[in-house]
Chain A
Amino acid sequence: MEEQGFLLSAFFFLAAAVVVVPFARRGGLGSVLGYLIAGVLIGPYALGLVRDPEEILHFAEFGVVMMLFLVGLELEPAKLWRLRIPILGTGSAQVVGTTLAIAALAMMMGQPWQTGVAVGMALAMSSTAIALQTLNERNLMNTPGGQSAFSVLLFQDIAVIPILALIPLLALHPVTAVADHGDALGGAPWLRALTVAVFVVAIVTGGRYLLRPIFRFIARSGVREIFTATALLLVVGIALLMQIIGLSPALGTFLAGVVLANSEYRIALESDIEPFKALLLGLFFISVGMSINFGLLIDQAGLIVAIVLGMVVVKLAVLLLLGRLFGIPKAQRLLFAFLLAQGGEFAFVLFQFAASEGAVAPEVAEMMVVVVALSMVLAPLMMVLLDRYIQPLLRDPQQKRAEDKIEAHGQPVIIIGYGRFGQIVGRFLLANGVGTVILDNDPDHVEVLRKFGVQAFYGDATRIDLLEAAGGDKAKLFVVAIDDAEKTVATVEAIRLRFPNAQVFARARNRDHVYELWAAGVHQAKRETFDSALSMGRDALVALGEHPYAARRRARLFANHDEQVLAEGFKVRDDEESLVKLSRQSRDQLEKLVAIDRGNARPEREEGWGD
Chain B
Amino acid sequence: MSAPILVLYAHPRPEASRVNQAMAEAVRDLDAVAVRDLYSLYPDFHIDVPAEQTALKAAEVVVFHHPLQWYSGPPILKEWIDSVLLHGWAYGHGGTALRGKRVLSAISVGGKSEAYQREGFHHYTVPDFLRPYERTATLCGMTYLPPFVFYGSYSATEMDVHRHAQEYRQHLLALASAPQGAR
Interface residue ranges, A against B (CB under 8 Å): 547-552, 598-599, 608-611
Contacts and interface: CB of A to CB of B under 8 A. Distances in A.
Given A547-B14, A599-B15, A609 B74 contact: yes
B70 A548 contact: no
A309 B108 CA distance: 95
A599 B70 CA distance: 20
Interface string B58-79: 0000000001111000100000
Interface string B97-128: 00000000000111000000000000000000
B43 to A, nearest CB: 4
Q: Most A CB atoms within 10 A — which of B16, B17, B68?
A: B16
A549 B9 CA distance: 13
A599 B16 CA distance: 7
B69 A608 contact: yes
A611 B15 contact: no
Contacts, number: 50
Size class of the B contact interface (CB-based, 8 Å): 20 to 34
A552 B76 CA distance: 14
B141 interface: no
A609 B12 CA distance: 7
Interface of B: 11-20, 39-41, 43-44, 67-70, 74, 108-110, 153-154
A611 B19 contact: yes
A545 to B, nearest CB: 10
B108 A548 contact: no
Contacts of A551: 43
Contacts of B44: 552
Contacts of B15: 547, 550, 598-599
Given A609-B74, A611-B67, A548 B16 contact: no
A610 B14 CA distance: 9
Contacts of A611: 17-20, 67-69, 108-110, 153
7 contacts: A547-B40, A548-B43, A608-B69, A610-B110, A610-B154, A611-B18, A611-B20
A551 B12 CA distance: 12
A549 B15 CA distance: 10
Nearest to A551: B43
Nearest to B38: A549
A549 B14 CA distance: 9
A600 B95 CA distance: 47
A598 B13 CA distance: 9
A598 B20 CA distance: 18
Contacts of B43: 548-549, 551-552
